[in-house]
Amino acid sequence: MRKQPALIEADGLSVAVPGRGLPFLRGAPLSILAEVSLAVRPGEIVCLIGESGSGKTTFGRALLGLVRPSSGSIAVDGVALPDFSARSFRALRRQAALLFQDPVSSFNPRQRIGAMMAEPRHIAGVGSTRLADIVALAGQVGLAERFLARFPHALSGGQARRAAVARALSVTPRLIVADEPTAGLDVSVQGGVLNLFLDIREQHDTAFLLITHNLSVVRHIADRIVILYLGRVVESGRAGDVLRSPRHPYTRALLDSEPVPDPARRRAEPPVIGEVPSIARRPTGCEFHTRCPRAQPRCRSEAPVLLDEPGERQVACHFPLPEAVNIPAPGRRMAQS
């Protein structure tokens, strides 16, 4: 992908909450995100992945000011927000939309779908709220006109997701942050939602930050991947490169956790052991060392730095995996049945 200035860029973004009631912290704040740097370029699809509790949702919310960052900076089109006040984020949120993990819970149960789609246009005072234009908006996401008169509970999971995307699109955002956009959907419906994202990107040059732990989503849609472990970036890079040849043992473990029918692609590395540690009791040194099959004494005492490698790759590991060969690159569009 050609190098472009970032639409949005977080630099060293951290989120901490008061650590009251956690004896191990002895009054120190609980660090949820630790100095996460991540950029999304116009029209780019970046997937943020990691196990449950790795801080993906917190990052997506912090980027849009729904969770207050404790330090770091956020820049839009290369211009840093002056601070993390509601006023600074208000300007950013005019250009961005968040798709919540559970769309129906973000809908007003007593508001009809058509009114819900039109609402952002009312609030922002931009765009038409005429019925014909709301019908056209629904058409963009593949929802027929008859759904506009319905209430949220009368929609299926896939229809609700499409309605949420239509609402997000109603003010043509430059960035959509989508939190687990395919969770709870049948595989065929998942494919429809992902293909819709690709179409939206093609038509409007919309960028996406997709938060997911579904690797099939990542394989089909990501331009770039960022991997979080305990709220820290451990690896990032172009999707094809990372999927073909993960360098961090944690990335390798995530990819190995996917069921693989082809014996030629089965695990070459020993598996990752044990449970993810609590963010309230972070391991010393490399925070992954307690589970890492490649850990050496140095990993227990010295935290690795996230280093730039050629080809837009970054890895934070003292003993990264060597480049792999002969693993097919990911496809693009997901088949729909």
Residues that bind ligand ATP (CB under 6 A): 17, 30, 32, 50, 52-58, 213, 279
Q: How far is the CB of 213 from ligand ATP (least distance, A)?
A: 6
Q: Which is nearer to ligand ATP, 61 or 220 (CB)?
A: 61
121 or 232: CB nearest ligand ATP: 232
- Of 228 and 299, the one with the shorter C-beta distance to ligand ATP is 228
- For the CB of residue 50, give the shortest distance to ligand ATP in the complex, in Å: 6
**Which lies closer to ligand ATP via its Cβ, residue 211 or residue 315?**
211
Q: How far is the CB of 29 from ligand ATP (least distance, A)?
A: 10
- Give the residue with the Cβ less far from ligand ATP, 58 or 195: 58
The secondary structure of the chain, three-state, reads CCCCCCCEEEEEEEEEECCCCCHHHCCCCEEEEEEEEEEECCCCEEEEECCCCCCHHHHHHHHCCCCCCCEEEEEECCEECCCCCHHHHHHHHCCEEEECCCHHHHCCCCCCHHHHHHHHHHHHCCCCCCHHHHHHHHHHCCCCHHHHHCCHHHCCHHHHHHHHHHHHHCCCCCEEEEECCCCCCCHHHHHHHHHHHHHHHHHHCCEEEEECCCHHHHHHHCCEEEEEECCEEEEEEEHHHHHHCCCCHHHHHHHHCCCCCCHHHCCCCCCCCCCCCCHHHCCCCCCCCCCCCCCCHHHHHCCCCCEEECCCEEECCCCCCCCCCCCCCCCCCCCCC
Q: How far is the CB of 21 from ligand ATP (least distance, A)?
A: 10
Tell me how far, at minimum, the Cβ of 254 lies from ligand ATP, in Å.
12
**In the bound complex, what is the minimum distance in angstroms from residue 66's beta carbon to ligand ATP?**
11
The nearer residue to ligand ATP, 163 or 279, going by C-beta atoms, is 279
